[in-house]
Structure 1
């Protein structure tokens, strides 16, 4: 299973009663799942959402097998543009998840934080840019590709070969621009109490003390599989 992207968030609010926490978690997963099904153009995927209470913290993940990614990319005009489109779709649905997660609460910017990670497609996009700039050769990039996809990628007919062809066919940036064209890195997106005028020190969030903290994990192994729910108390 290949990681397509994940989102972590923290909402500093009062602890929820157990029943309300269960209803909130189930509602949030269902809303997120519906947006994934509408927006993500790959035939099958794995999704999981973990919510912990006392504040509300969550982690959502979208993943897929290499074959499903390959089929999704084939719906677009080019391999690279297809990967970028799927990457944008994952970012979009995870941004909706965060907006829904904080919607029931009266939140200010200082009370919320979110961090998005781009997964394997983000790593591929970075490799494409480095090949275009001459930072990596195609052979070096393919070595990194195989570290990302491993045997799973090799088992999909044409997948690895198509990636190598795309890397070879990428337009190269003129060498004279290399001094002014700095490397672009895929950064984690951070939203929260960040001061623009001075560097901020990362502080551990201080959850509101509660006598019992709840944790719910909800996931689907595939689009057609049964929704699984696991409830626990910390």
Structure 2
């Protein structure tokens, strides 16, 4: 039986040697081993408590074999030959490697992951472009303020540091709100992900750093240009 079933039936006892009823069978079956849980339906479906019976106890019309080998291409002809030698009329089903089986099983989750990733990248790009436009426009509109500050004695470096730091604060606040929103909406996006946490720290950190970098650059570029202008020229521009 599987570990989850053993814990469910005998949480505080050793299941080996214990007897239990399986399905509608009247006979009791003795536990002879406990194995790890297996996701037998799909990688997305959690493992279920499972009982394993021998082929004599539960005959089935088909049989699956798992063969460990380092040269699959050489084993396939041998398997066909052995099966044909046992019974020439015995049909042989699909033969494939574990990697091929996993690729087929996970094709749907991988496709969804690729689509979500593509939309996420596009969203990140659009957010970066919009953020750059808003921040750079706001910095450009403060050229007169920078001219006044420099006319009153502030150095261009001090003005540059002030406006860039203000942009960094705005970017940090926006990133914090984004992280909070991501945490709150995690349960809605969890069903679209496979073996990936919805609040993956690396993804959140990368996204936050990208947006902060865009904010700093958008604040720095126009402010740097304006700080090099003559304060009188800036004040006369309006």
* TM-score range normalised by the length of the shorter chain: under 0.3
Asked which structure has the greater RCO (Cα within 8 Å, sep 6+), the reply is: 1
TM-score by length of 2: 0.24
User: By percentage of residues, which structure has more helix?
Assistant: 2
Q: Which has the larger radius of gyration?
A: 2
